[in-house]
Amino acid sequence: MTVNNKRVFYVKYLAHEIYVDIMKARADVRLDRLENESPDAVAAPILSAAHAYQVGAARDEIARHFHVDQDLLRRAPNLLIVSSNGAGFDPVDVDACTAAGVLVVNQSGGNANSVAEHALGMMLTLSKRILESDRALRRQANVNRNTLIGNEVQGKTVGIVGIGNVGRRVAELCNGLLHMKVIAYDPYLSAEEIAARGGEKVELHDLMRRSDFVSISCPLTKDNRRMIGAREFALMQPHAFFITTARGFIHDEEALYEALRDKRIAGAGLDVWDKEPPPPEHPLLQFDNVLASPHTAGVTKEARVNMGKIAAEQILEALDGKRPPRIVNPEVWPDYARRFERTFGFAPK
């Protein structure tokens, strides 16, 4: 295999066309596009030759046979690196990649400001009852504004679950702009690290109990699936709001429905779902105090450009033999380095 024959492919879409522009500027890189419906006769040779796969981060937008699992890894024996379009990596079996010596990276941080602004917008909209007011005005005459009294967020407590790139920006906005108290649950960070990011470290049950707003901003992993369930919702205060811009399956949708139905919490802002997009008849969409969006928190013009640029540059760094940032499975590096050297004839740095 020649050194200057680097094969990259993607399925259906990219974060932004800037990715294509950056790749096309490199004569040593071939970029292939597949569709969800691409027949095996077209897809098989591309998978077989591929060194890198730029995969969509939304699990329901990529056909199941293009999710990165043991089957796809068998069909792509030369694959060295999988790069997710976003901070999440739902369509990627990280353990299977690690076992196969495949590096997994994401674009964590590329859309952090967009997602944090979305979470903040949901927080303000729910607290000020803007959504309920809008719906009331559209449905009835002579609306009594005294039935729609909201609350200020200043001085309230926001509990952030996962204070990484997005959570840190949420904390910054809530601290500096709104003068709120920030508490955070993140088992991977020390109290000192969380304090440096603007929060007080607490355990999850304390966060659920103390927060006026619970904001979820952690990635979905095998360890936190259904982490927020009936027990956690039962700890929340009746006036508190639940907001998630993270990933579906971190919270239990049925348990949230029951908490809202029984008025055990004040409302919810939901950008992520078990099934995306959710159908119009979804039970959670029937509440006037549920603010919903179809996983668009990170979908802004600015974020899309940033994500596309980061993704392309990160893939090229890896294919040039450099250690890329944002590695999801760093423990795979020795196996990956050996496979890279066999492929390209030199060891990555």
Range(s) of the domain holding residue 136: 111-292
- Token look-up 């990011």 returns 197
Q: Are residues 130 and 149 in the same domain?
A: yes
User: 124 near 173, Cβ under 8 Å?
Assistant: no
Q: Are residues 149 and 243 in the same domain?
A: yes
pTM recorded for the entire structure: 0.88
pLDDT digits (tens, 9 = 90+) for 84-136: 987 778 899 999 999 999 999 998 888 999 999 999 999 999 999 999 999 99
**Long-range contacts of residues 292-296, Cβ cutoff 8 Å, at least 24 apart:** 293/118, 295/58, 295/271, 296/118, 296/271
Domain membership flag for residue 1: no
Query: 97 is written with which tokens?
Result: 């990649």
- Token look-up 């603010």 returns 291
pLDDT digits (tens, 9 = 90+) for 322-332: 999 999 999 99
Q: Is 138 a catalytic residue?
A: no
Q: Does position 162 have pLDDT exceeding 80, yes or no?
A: yes
Burial class, 274, CB count within 10 angstroms (exposed 0-12 / middle 13-18 / buried 19+): middle
Count of structural domains, the chain: 2
Q: Are residues 69 and 155 in the same domain?
A: no
The single residue of 7, 168, 197, 295 carrying the catalytic annotation is 295
DSSP-derived secondary structure letter, 240? -
Share of the chain above pLDDT 90, in %: 92
**Distance of alpha carbon 179 from alpha carbon 160, whole angstroms:** 15
Interaxial angle between packed helices 301-319 and 112-127, expressed in degrees from 0 to 180 and rounded to the nearest 10: 150
Burial class, 142, CB count within 10 angstroms (exposed 0-12 / middle 13-18 / buried 19+): exposed
Domain membership flag for residue 233: yes
**Distance of alpha carbon 216 from alpha carbon 73, whole angstroms:** 32
Q: Are residues 62 and 186 in the same domain?
A: no
Q: Are residues 268 and 218 in the same domain?
A: yes
Residue 40: CB atoms within 10 Å:
10
**Distance of alpha carbon 255 from alpha carbon 232, whole angstroms:** 9
Residue 25: CB atoms within 10 Å:
10
Instruction: Determine the average pLDDT of the residues in 167-193.
Output: 97
**Distance of alpha carbon 85 from alpha carbon 57, whole angstroms:** 5
pLDDT digits (tens, 9 = 90+) for 204-237: 999 999 999 999 999 888 899 999 999 999 999 9
Q: Are residues 307 and 284 in the same domain?
A: no
Q: Is 247 a catalytic residue?
A: yes
Q: Are residues 123 and 170 in the same domain?
A: yes
pLDDT at 2: 46
Q: Are residues 179 and 277 in the same domain?
A: yes
pLDDT at 1: 43
Query: 244 is written with which tokens?
Result: 């998630």
Q: Is 253 a catalytic residue?
A: no
